[in-house]
Amino acid sequence: MPKDDMLGPYSEKVMDHFMNPRNMGEIKDADAVGTVGNPACGDVMRLYLKVSDDKILDAKFKTFGCGAAIATSSMATEMIKGKTVDESLKITNEAVAEALDGLPPNKMHCSVLAQEAIEAAINNYKEKSDTKQTSDEK
């Protein structure tokens, strides 16, 4: 089969991250967890973060979804590792798709899952650190 038939509408990078997802799994003692669902298709992504001094040291994900959702989850974890929480919040779904050399237009909605999971996990982290600060102040 010619190579292009295998890839279909997907870039080589999308196929690579789908076939060999980076950072798949769970962080047992995660500092933050975000779970989001895509109402359009019912797919779900959960993102685990290890954070220290507002810097993301580690990120892992579990995604129950299509190939594009898995590839964008994998790329998103690679993109946020080493960044601060505020830098990570600025990552758009378009940026994740671009880092994968693009997604077919009808699969762009899948990349939204990764962006929303980053937001959800960081909100969870911020909520937890606010609670910690308040109790430390007491």
Residues of this chain that interact with ligand FES (CB under 6 A) are 38, 41, 43, 65-66, 68-69, 110, 113
Q: How far apart are CA 82 and CA 78, in angstroms?
A: 9
110 assigned to active site: yes
* CB 36 to ligand FES: min, Å: 10
Q: How far is CA 57 from CA 5, 31, 67, 79, 97, in A?
A: 38, 10, 26, 12, 23
Closer of 66 and 89 to ligand FES (Cβ): 66
* CB 72 to ligand FES: min, Å: 8
Closer of 44 and 50 to ligand FES (Cβ): 44
Closer of 113 and 121 to ligand FES (Cβ): 113
* CB 68 to ligand FES: min, Å: 5
66 assigned to active site: no
Q: How far is CA 83 from CA 39, 70, 77, 112, in A?
A: 29, 21, 10, 19
Write down the catalytic residue from 6, 7, 40, 41: 41
List the catalytic residues. 41, 110
